[in-house]
Structure 1
Amino acid sequence: MNQRARIAMTDDEIAAFLRDARKLQLATINPDGTPHLVTMFYGLTDGRLTFWTYGKAQKTRNIERDPRVSCLVETGEDYAELRGVLVYGKARLIDDPGAVLEIGLDITARMTGAGEAAAADEAFRGYVEHTARKRVAFVVEPDRVVSWDHAKLAGDSVGRQRSQA
């Protein structure tokens, strides 16, 4: 088995990793073809990455023109700790106010650490409803998912050497 296959996460590991993380790096394509890269808080809907932003944001204009995106969720400081999931796909615009609100509630609860019960809190919900009026949401429909977990190399002399470097 090659190293690439050894460090790949299982579907269950990917799902757990994405559930536990809160931020991703979103890459869209600018009009001149250069990448537009930003960090976003995200949510999950039916296992798919979701994010929301202002309707007039650069990333929104980029996605409206070309829906191809890359989303990177990663963690770790040392080589042996590196873990990540890279999703290549197409971002689908969600502009229905109710759906935008639901995605916004999920993202804001994850972002603040308030948890799922936060949606029932009147002040929390009021804040998100107010913010949602100017926003749109996106669901990333994955074309390809790449993952890695360098902790799986722990018994490998290469992994040990790199983590000690």
Structure 2
Amino acid sequence: MAGGSKREQIKMTPDEVASFLAGNFKVQVATVGKEGEPHLVTMFYALLDGKIAFTTYKKSQKVQNLRRNPTMTCLVEDGVEYNELRGVALYGRGLIIEDPEPRSKVGMVVGSRMAGLPVPEIGEPVDPVVAEGIEKALEKRVLIVMEPDRVVSWDHGKV
């Protein structure tokens, strides 16, 4: 095949991956269950220092799974028709962070999106009444940050 394999032709550059992840907000998250089975959920996310980050309940199944085995895979994808399909799969570890400062930064972005409000950038101020409600909800949550070891991407619009 001229120009390399199809796999190489549809692969996104690092800048394209970063832009794609910044332009989306839903991620499919897979962790490893107690019996070795995949546990798959969809979460809203924000980028924290360029990495997928989301909050979840401290006692959620994904947190229990990550405490046992930090292996995690994340998939962000879009497109309907074959030539529109794009995606990024990240393979690595899910880090559980209990520090309230980064949890709050991510929580303000995700919480605003979930409430249907204008979505701030990480670290931007949020309406104080909204911020108070989000902070209250975050008290029962932890932050999960995807620490990728390997990234696989595709953009079928390239061929």
Distance in 2, matches of 1:99 and 1:72, equals 22
Q: What is the DSSP-based 3-state SS (H/G/I as helix, E as strand, rest coil) of the residue aligned with 1:142?
A: strand
Q: How many Å separate the matches in 2 of 1:147 and 1:95?
A: 30
How far did 1:62 drift? Answer: 0.3
Query: Aligned pair 1:25/2:28, yes or no?
Result: yes
Q: Shift of the alpha carbon at 1:103?
A: 1.7
- 1:147 pairs with 145, 150, 153, which one? 153
| Unaligned segments of structure 2, at least 5 residues | none
User: What are the within-5 Å matches in structure 2 for residues 129-144 of structure 1?
Assistant: 129-144=135-150
The one-letter code sitting in structure 2 at the alignment partner of 1:140 is M
Distance 1:109 1:11, change over 3 A: farther
Which of 110, 129, 133 is the equivalent residue of 1:127? Answer: 133
For the residue of structure 2 that corresponds to 1:120, the secondary structure is coil
Q: Residues 43 and 106 of structure 1 are in contact (CA less than 8 Å); yes or no, is this contact kept in structure 2?
A: yes
* 1:75 pairs with one of 73, 78, 82: 78
Q: Give the corresponding residue for 2:67.
A: 64
Contact 1:28 1:68 in 2 (8 A): yes
The RMSD of aligned alpha carbons is 1.4
Corresponding residue of 1:102: 105
The higher radius of gyration belongs to 1
- Helix, strand or coil at the partner of 1:116: coil
C-alpha deviation, 1:119, in angstroms = 3.5
Q: Does 1:115 align with 2:119?
A: yes
Identity over aligned pairs, percent: 46
- More helix by proportion, 1 or 2? 1
Mapped partners of 1:91, 1:107: distance in 2: 18
Q: For the Cα contact (< 8 Å) 1:90–1:141, is it kept in 2?
A: yes
SS of structure 1 residue aligned to 2:53: strand
Residue correspondences, number: 153
Distance 1:52 1:84 in 2: 22
Q: What TM-score do you get using the length of structure 2 for normalisation?
A: 0.91
Counterpart contact for 2:9–2:158, Cα < 8 Å? yes
Q: What TM-score do the two structures reach when normalised by structure 1?
A: 0.88
CA distance in 2, matches of 1:100, 1:46: 13
Confirm whether residue 84 of structure 1 aligns to residue 87 of structure 2. yes
Q: Structure 1: where are the runs of 5+ without partners?
A: 154-165
Q: Return the offset for 1:110.
A: 4.4
- Tell me how far 1:113 sits from its aligned partner: 5.5
